[in-house]
Amino acid sequence: MQALAERLHHLNYQYYQNDVSEVTDQDFDRLLAELAALETAHPALAQPNSPTQRVGGSITKQFATVPHRYPMLSLGNTYSEDDLREFDERVQKGLEGAPYAYVCELKFDGVAMSLRYENGQLTQGVTRGDGTKGDVVTANVRTIRNLPLHLRPVPNQPPDLEVRGEVFMPLVVFAELNAEREANNEALLANPRNAASGALKLQDSAQVAARRLSLFAYSLLAPGRTFGSHSETLEALTAYGLPVSDTWRRCTSLADVLAFVHEWERKRFTLPVATDGIVIKVDNLRQQDQLGFTAKSPRWAIAYKYPAEAGRTRLLAVEYNVGRTGAVVPVAILAPVPLAGTVVKRATLHNANQIEALGLRVGDLVLVEKGGEIIPKITGVVLAERPVEAVPIVYPTACPACGTALLRPEGEVHFRCPNERGCPPQLKARLEHYVSRKALNIDGLGAETVGRFFDLGLLPTVADIYTLSTRRAELVTLERMGEKSIDNLLAGIEKSKAASFDKVLFGLGIRHVGETVARKLAAHYRSIAALAAAPAAEMAAVPEVGGIIAEGVAVWFREPENQRLIERLQAAGVQLALTGEAPALASKALTGKSFVLSGVFEHHSREELQRLIESHGGKISGSISKKLSYLVAGENMGPAKREKAVAMKVPIITEADLLALLPGHGSPAGEAPGGSAQPQPQLSLF
């Protein structure tokens, strides 16, 4: 087993670091299968960093949160070369004229990760979180194929070290994933960064492995002063077998830095990973210590961000898509234009107001901007080059899918199709929403299968999902529906009956009822019967709900078709009530008080503070008003909220002030025993 593991680790390193295939894929898979069989036969001898962990398989119900040994701080950003010159002047002044050099690195657009290696073995992977603490995602990190699970032994290697890196989804993987989602009529992922972040939050590491994430290491931290410069740490990371991008460069002057910035402005689009700028750091670590930090970021580093990529092309047509709630959304069809390393053919137009504001006509030469989103946006029209045959855009008055006359409710930007019961895109989208991961999460019922079953008349409504077990004879006659697929589908449907009431409520797709509102309503009323009987005025008083949402929910439950739907779901055994007793309050210290949370907090996440407030009888509000009791201000709180609170004379308190309001509340979470501070970094942080 040990020999197999070492052989597989070596083959992985050769393939992902040196681009060398020493064996065929078939031979590699054979060796991996042999090791997996041995581990199954001898589980006590299986190692946590075995190559078999690359494929995932562990299920995490909840990610533990731990404090960072070394804070994961943020960098100051700039889009201006003048700001870089000012930064250089500050460095020169802070170092009192001593010679210095910079290291320039590409800023990869991914998810920051902290990796701990003990005696060469990967023992922990933690997300950035709020910078002081993050989520433990070790099982998910182990699936990253180019990340070594154990380091290559090198003389003087620190026995306990921390590696900082950027987890990303390669562009080719992102394109393949979105092509698959588009074929299944699923919503496209916005960008590779969001795709990588979402993958790391998956609770099944096998699903993470399927996302084929990668990582570039960019920093090394360890107790003591092992290295003299940041460039030396990058070389050490490479020697240890960690993936370090070879695009970094040591620059001895600002002119060299600016040359690096200009060189990569276009060249970055040839890389297999999304980038959005350059990180510039003083190389010498003692000089970094001399320059020190501001309250939020180091004085020895800065990030230069490239402006959003823009281009010019022709608007060929406008398509109109109908969503789950009936909103009709316009999409621009463009003459293909290369932009930020891809060929752009479509751009979002948002709504009729946007079209009117831009003054768009079909045939116009338009300015298109891509600032990281998968669907770019039109930012302007080149009026001087408008062709005489350009055609004004007339928003449709009838639904493009079912022909029903469109409505535009007062105060809303979208035209909507009111044919909720007969508009095919709306009906399909509601089915897809019900079976989605955040709702009932029914295995075997993806968007493609849902659409296919809908077209065949098998799924007119979500309640019909629970009749499929009686229609097995029809299912086996369908293409690509073998016995095993049908068994998996029916098992997934049966499992969905155990989904909690708030998931079902969210899955019903009631307009304005997102995950948070569904959770609040479920917790307050505890059953669908009580919720259906509640008047809108009473419902509006539930935190996060309000008048518009409450009226919409009340109207939904008054519809006879929806009442019949609930009856059918209840008969099928779906959970339409919370089980057990309502949780008792820890105290009533905050009863009658309302709070808005804003910014990043030192000892708790925003969600933790929200639960804490609610457990003592307080309410969370979504906006600042004169009736608000307190604004709880964390770091990086937006100035607009502070100004509004001051204008309305709302008290502004800190996290510590909030905790002081609670009876018997001990030391803030994350504080070291006896009040001792967490250890401070002695090497480069970034």
CATH of the domain at 386: 2.40.50.140
Residue 410 included in any domain: no
CATH assignment of the domain containing 207: 3.30.470.30
DSSP-derived secondary structure for 673-686: GGGPPPPPPSS---
Q: Which of 605, 668, 600, 602 is nearest to 636 (CA)?
A: 600
Tokens of 562: 């929806």
Terminal-residue alpha carbon distance, the chain: 37
CATH number of residue 471's parent domain: 1.10.150.20
Question: Does residue 518 share a domain with residue 439?
Answer: no
Instruction: Tell whether 61 is covered by a domain.
Output: no
What are the structure tokens assigned to 66, written together? Answer: 């731990």
Two structure tokens written together for 235: 């070389």
Q: Which of 61, 107, 428, 484 is catalytic?
A: 107
Contact 208, 56 (CB under 8 A): yes
- Count the neighbouring beta carbons within 10 Å of the beta carbon of residue 255: 9
* 450 and 374 within one domain: no
Orientation of helix 25-41 relative to helix 2-17, angle to 10°: 150
Domain match, 28 and 77 both? no
Tokens for 383, please give them: 């009026």
Structure-model confidence comparison of residues 321 and 677, the more confident one: 321
Give the pLDDT score at 70: 84
Single-letter code of the amino acid located at 204: D
pLDDT class for 667, splitting at 50, 70, 90?
very low
Condensed to tens digits (0 to 9), the pLDDT of residues 154-200 reads 988 999 999 999 999 998 888 888 777 766 656 667 678 888 888 88
Position 58 scores a pLDDT of 59
The answer to the question of residue 63 being in a domain is: no
Residue 685 domain flag: no
Are 602 and 671 contained in the same domain? Answer: yes
Higher confidence at residue 348 or residue 291?
291
Domain-embedded: residue 274? yes
Give the domain CATH number at 44: 1.10.287.610
| Average confidence (pLDDT) over 422-450 | 87
d(CA 143, CA 211): 9
Same domain (yes/no): 335, 474: no
CA-nearest of 545, 540, 490, 542 to 514 is 545
Phi, psi of 241 (to 5 degrees): 95, 10
Do 136 and 238 reside in the same domain of the chain?
yes
Lowest-pLDDT range, 39-53, 242-256, 269-283? Answer: 39-53
More confident residue, 47 or 230: 230
Residue with tokens 């029209």: 381
Same domain flag for 440 and 456: yes
State whether 299 and 316 are in the same domain.
no
Within-domain flag for 459: yes
107 flagged as catalytic: yes
Same domain, 373 and 313: yes
Same domain, 656 and 602: yes
Q: Is the pLDDT of residue 267 over 80?
A: yes
Residue 174 and residue 280 share a domain: yes
587: in domain: no
pLDDT at 361: 94
CB neighbour list of residue 222: distance below 8 Å, 6 or more residues apart = 158, 160, 161, 162, 682, 683
Last residue of a domain, one of 496, 524, 556: 496
Give residue 674's pLDDT.
34
Confidence check: pLDDT of 421 > 90: no
Give residue 18's domain range: 2-55
Antiparallel, parallel or unpaired: β 160-168 and 214-221:
antiparallel
Domain stops at, among 275, 305, 335: 305
Domain count, the chain: 6
Per-position DSSP letters for 297-336, written without gaps between them: SBTTEEEEEPPPEEEEEEEEEEEEEE-TT-BEEEEEEEEE
| Structure confidence at residue 46 (pLDDT) | 81
Q: Which of 342, 343, 382 is nearest to 364 (CA)?
A: 382
Per-residue pLDDT for 520 more than 80? yes
Alpha carbons 38 and 202: distance in angstroms, whole number = 28
Q: Tell the residue number behind the tokens 């809908």, with chain if given.
A: 454
Range name among 45-54, 83-92, 94-103 with the lowest pLDDT average: 45-54
Residue 682 has pLDDT above 60, yes or no: no
CB 318 within 8 A of CB 331: yes
Q: Last residue of a domain, which of 244, 277, 305?
A: 305
Q: Distance between CA atoms of 280 and 222, rounded to whole angstroms?
A: 22
Sorting pLDDT into bands at 50, 70 and 90, what band is 318?
Answer: very high
pLDDT confidence band for 224 (50 / 70 / 90)? confident
Confidence of residue 90 (pLDDT cuts 50, 70, 90): very high
CATH code at position 660: 3.40.50.10190
Residues 6+ apart with CB under 8 A from 645: 624, 628, 631, 652
pLDDT for res 478: 86
pTM: 0.53
* Residue 417 is assigned to a structural domain of this protein: no
Same domain, 44 and 98: no
- Phi, psi (deg, nearest 5) at residue 620: -100, 130
